[in-house]
Amino acid sequence: MKDYIVRATAANAQIRAFAMTSRALVEEARRVHELSPVITAALGRLLTAGAMMGSMLKGEKDVLTMQIHCDGPVRGLAVTADAKANVKGTALAPQVMLPPNGLGKLDVGGAVGSGILSVIKDMGLKEPYVGQTQLQTGEIAEDLTYYFATSEQVPSAVGLGVLMEKDNTVRQAGGFILQLMPFAEDETINALEEKLRTMDSVTNILDAGSTPEQLLELLLGDLGLEINDTIPAQYHCDCCRERVERAIISIGKKDIQEMLDDGKPVEVRCQFCDKIYNFEVEDLEKMLTEARS
Ligand SMILES: [Zn+2]
């Protein structure tokens, strides 16, 4: 099954809803970065949320970036997504191993710890939108719920899950984001809260064979669910040699001169897809002339 996002509304548009299956793209992230199981779950949850939040962007060229700076052993996670649900991500410490948490699950909260979540939306304006909140549990879904409530003032419910196979590949991944519009009535809010309280975990629902449409049906079927569209989602890195060159030029003359002083070609690895770009001494000399001192 390919990854996709379902976009929907319910209760006469008092609720807007997103649900997603993301197994293939989380598996791709795991394969590219050789992620450990707990980091696959941590980055996988952030990638899943990132793809759904990317699909909320209005402009074709808009870009959403989420960064977590944290004191847990993973130290940092970053995800970038666009409006077409192309998503990519990276983890500072991709191979962290931890024992299961008290519930016998992958200890994402333990790997992340406490820290800051930053959400950056580049919508082609002079300054990007930046929202920052404290991590609440490090489990990602709760942290995003808190982010939406405090930074965007949109009451939301976020569910994210990644389930691993015994061979440490990804068995299931997916999630949902439900958001209450400002005119939502108490009756709708209460009915939704009751549903959320009694529902099974995202991974259990997906592992029972449910599609994202069926996941939304479980949550919002009694509230007049209307599915609007589905969009494919994928792990995609848009790096290219020119972009890497620009990144090297941007670090400045002094650092490029230091590379030149070594007299050896330089290898630069893309942090999102692990593709390697090689630069010869002559390339560096050319970049030196373009760099600022
Ligand atoms: Zn790349």
Q: For 111-123, how does the pLDDT look when each residue is reduced to its tens digit (9 = 90+)? A: 999 999 999 999 9
Average confidence (pLDDT) over 255-271:
92
CA–centroid distance, 64 to ligand 1, in Å, is: 16
CATH of residue 116's domain is 3.55.30.10
Span 160-217, pLDDT tens digits? 999 999 999 999 999 999 999 999 999 999 999 999 999 999 999 999 999 999 999 9
Could you tell me the pLDDT band of residue 79, with boundaries at 50, 70 and 90? very high
CATH of residue 268's domain is 3.90.1280.10
Please indicate, yes or no, whether residues 161 and 215 belong to a single structural domain of this protein. yes
CA–centroid distance, 238 to ligand 1, in Å, is: 6
Span 273-286, pLDDT tens digits? 989 999 999 999 99
Residue 6 included in any domain: no
Residue 176 has what pLDDT?
98
User: Mean pLDDT score of the chain, rounded to an integer?
Assistant: 96
Is 67 within 8 Å of 78 (Cβ atoms)?
yes
Tokens of 255: 């650092």
Please indicate, yes or no, whether residues 33 and 149 belong to a single structural domain of this protein. yes
Burial class (CB in 10 A: 0-12, 13-18, 19+), 226: middle
Please indicate, yes or no, whether residues 74 and 196 belong to a single structural domain of this protein. yes
Of 215, 235, 255, the residue at which a domain comes to its end is 235
226-232 and 129-134 strand pairing: unpaired
Residue located via tokens 């060159």: 245
- Tally of structural domains, the chain: 2
Average confidence (pLDDT) over 228-255:
94
CA–centroid distance, 261 to ligand 1, in Å, is: 27
CA–centroid distance, 74 to ligand 1, in Å, is: 21
CA–centroid distance, 156 to ligand 1, in Å, is: 32
The C-alpha atoms of residue 88 and residue 80 are separated, in whole angstroms, by 5
Is 43 within 8 Å of 173 (Cβ atoms)?
no
Is 131 within 8 Å of 147 (Cβ atoms)?
yes
The range of the structural domain enclosing residue 267 comes to 241-292
Please indicate, yes or no, whether residues 72 and 17 belong to a single structural domain of this protein. yes
Please indicate, yes or no, whether residues 46 and 133 belong to a single structural domain of this protein. yes
- pTM (2 d.p.): 0.93
Of 197, 217, 235, the residue at which a domain comes to its end is 235
Could you tell me the pLDDT band of residue 1, with boundaries at 50, 70 and 90? confident
Of 235, 250, 271, the residue at which a domain comes to its end is 235
Span 26-39, pLDDT tens digits? 999 999 999 999 99
Please indicate, yes or no, whether residues 148 and 249 belong to a single structural domain of this protein. no
Please indicate, yes or no, whether residues 45 and 101 belong to a single structural domain of this protein. yes
Please indicate, yes or no, whether residues 115 and 24 belong to a single structural domain of this protein. yes
- Please state, in angstroms and as integers, the Cα–Cα distance from residue 191 to each residue in 158, 187, 195, 197, following that order: 16, 6, 6, 10
Please indicate, yes or no, whether residues 79 and 150 belong to a single structural domain of this protein. yes
Residue 71 has what pLDDT?
98
Please indicate, yes or no, whether residues 224 and 247 belong to a single structural domain of this protein. no
Is 21 within 8 Å of 6 (Cβ atoms)?
no
Residue 7 included in any domain: no
CA–centroid distance, 163 to ligand 1, in Å, is: 26
CA–centroid distance, 71 to ligand 1, in Å, is: 26
Q: Which residues contact 94 (CB under 8 A, 6 or more apart)?
A: 33, 34, 35, 36, 39
Please indicate, yes or no, whether residues 130 and 163 belong to a single structural domain of this protein. yes
Please indicate, yes or no, whether residues 157 and 217 belong to a single structural domain of this protein. yes
